[in-house]
Structure 1
């Protein structure tokens, strides 16, 4: 399976963002790591191996993106306003720099996004903030309300990055074209958040699949089972 290490300079962040890319061609899917995870996390946990057939047959190209969680959501040493602002810059890096580059490279109008745990939040938040850039969104074991990271602080940027707050009031035709999977499991402590998000989407008549696996906790074994199934939907 072809693996390529890349460094992508972001003008918005003023730094290089490291990536691992799997496959020479295929439909692009961006993978966001779990809490404070790095770009190589999915490789280390055997997650990429579950997608080997899709990558080697040229159906899928995987782009594992580094996070800046230590400078944003989990940067407890910073004022909450600075934390959320750093995430806004990360979002601009994604939508204005990285994703357009991937679109050109793969000759597609939209990409897929996916992630486990906190990476699932990142995937869903990016998809609903930029639905014109996303055709597929797969979250696995995610929670979506980020107000607990803000120490009681709330401003427009928090609102615009907290899906349970902004999605009920958002309107975009691209929402209804997106293929959305909310993956969780019977003993996942994030399961209630997925039911809540499913209810929000259902009230807006946004098609989606709430996939509740009958076994498994909030951990890699169930996510590794989910991922190739979701890729088969592309």
Structure 2
């Protein structure tokens, strides 16, 4: 497997940022954001790259793993909130403006990358896909946190609002131009219901808001034995990623594919076996309220809807974010 580590200076963050590329140019680009406070080598250290090695070696994907700056934003509990929010926004700008250009150059293509991540990496992956569906093909977000109140309490400003998916989706109208793009992308969200999985309610909000908008995202709630930890994330990425890659390659019209086997994640998923997933008898049962629906890009669609993020405006006088989960 080709492995190349590179460093770029981010003008948005005012610091050097490291990334590692696995695989060859021309394969489908995947941008992986690590978990809370982690760096670009985390996925390699925890064996996630090994799980994806068959897809990399077969030339199906080129994987780009990046650094985080979470310790200066999300997890800097004693820091100034405005500065913390501004740092997160600068990190988002780094990913969209600087890293993405590097990915296109090294991948030798203009393909829209798929954003993936676990824990806070899933949070970042979801923000990339939801805020810039014109630039990213979608996301696979595993155990993400989508309420900024988890780290900022009731504090909110316009910058932080742009990084709170539960908040801005709740203000989005079904006529928003991003709704069409969402339905032409692959939006996959997954959370377990076992130990340390504290973001179940977050994903319920995401699922309800996307359903309200008429967006066919795939929101899966895995079993009560599924914990917030690497062994499960490995199984999940091994299951979801080959399916998403097949959809992208097929170029099917939205809604053309059915929801897949009702028996759970393992049924009819030989790709997951090949990529190191659990045996069918060991895979968790999917617990879904609405049923999984999968969508692929529409042929010949016009993706460009503007050069800037089109997050809906924050409603004036909105209540603290805790009200979203409470209904």
TM more than 0.5: yes
Q: 1:176, CA displacement in angstroms?
A: 1.9
Task: Please show how residues 119-158 of structure 1 align to structure 2 within 5 Å.
Answer: 119-158=121-160
Structure 2 partner of 1:86: 87
For 1:14-59, what per-residue CA distance to the aligned partner results, in whole angstroms no more than 9, with x for missing partners? 2110111110131111111111111111111111111011000110
CA contact (8 A) 1:21 1:61 kept: yes
Tell me if the contact between 1:137 and 1:180 (Cα under 8 Å) persists in the aligned partners: yes
- 4+ runs of 1 displaced by more than 6 Å? none
Task: Using the TM superposition, give the Cα deviation of residue 192 of structure 1 relative to its aligned residue in structure 2, in angstroms.
Answer: 2.5
2:189 to 172, 175, 182: 182
CA distance in 2, matches of 1:198, 1:151: 22
Partner of 2:216: 207
Residues 169 and 206 in structure 2, CA contact (< 8 A), matched pair in contact too: no
Q: Does 1:231 align with 2:241?
A: yes
The aligned counterpart of 2:9 is 9
Q: Name the SS of the counterpart of 1:189 in structure 2.
A: coil
Which entry has the higher C-alpha Rg, 1 or 2? 2
Shift of 1:151: 4.1
Query: Aligned equivalents of 1:186 and 1:142: distance in 2?
Result: 13
Q: 1:86 Cα deviation (Å)?
A: 0.8
Deviates more, 1:81-90 or 1:184-193: 184-193
Q: TM-score, normalised by structure 1?
A: 0.94
Structure 1 residue 228, shift from structure 2 partner: 1.9
Please identify which structure carries the higher helix content: 1
TM-score in terms of structure 2 length = 0.69
Superposed displacement of residue 152, structure 1: 3.1
Give the Cα separation in 2 of the matches to 1:104 and 1:64.
15
Partners of 2:150 and 2:226 lie apart in 1 by: 25
Equivalent residues of 1:147, 1:158 under 8 A apart: no
Give 3-state SS (helix, strand or coil) of 2:193's partner. Answer: strand
Higher strand share goes to which structure?
1
- Counterpart of 1:75 in structure 2 is 76
Counterpart of 1:133 in 2: which secondary structure?
Answer: coil
Task: Indicate whether 1:42 and 2:43 are aligned.
Answer: yes
Q: State the secondary structure of the residue aligned to 1:137.
A: strand
- Superposed CA RMSD in Å reads 1.4
Alignment check: 8 A CA contact 1:168 1:204 kept: no
Question: Shift of the alpha carbon at 1:105?
Answer: 3.3
Aligned with 2:134: secondary structure? helix
The separation in 2 between residues aligned to 1:50 and 1:111, in whole angstroms, is 19
Give distance in 1, aligned partners of 2:192 and 2:78: 34
- How many pairs align? 234
1:10 touches 1:17 (CA, 8 Å); kept in 2?
A: yes
The worse-fitting range, judged by mean Cα deviation, of 51-60 and 189-198 is 189-198
Structure 1: which 5+ runs fail to align?
none
- How do 1:94-113 and structure 2 match up within 5 A? 94-106=95-107, 107-113=109-115
Alignment correspondent of 2:56? 55
Mapped to 2, the partners of 1:16 and 1:116 lie a distance apart of 23
SS of residue in 2 equivalent to 1:186: coil
Distance in 2 (alpha carbons) for counterparts of 1:116 and 1:209: 16
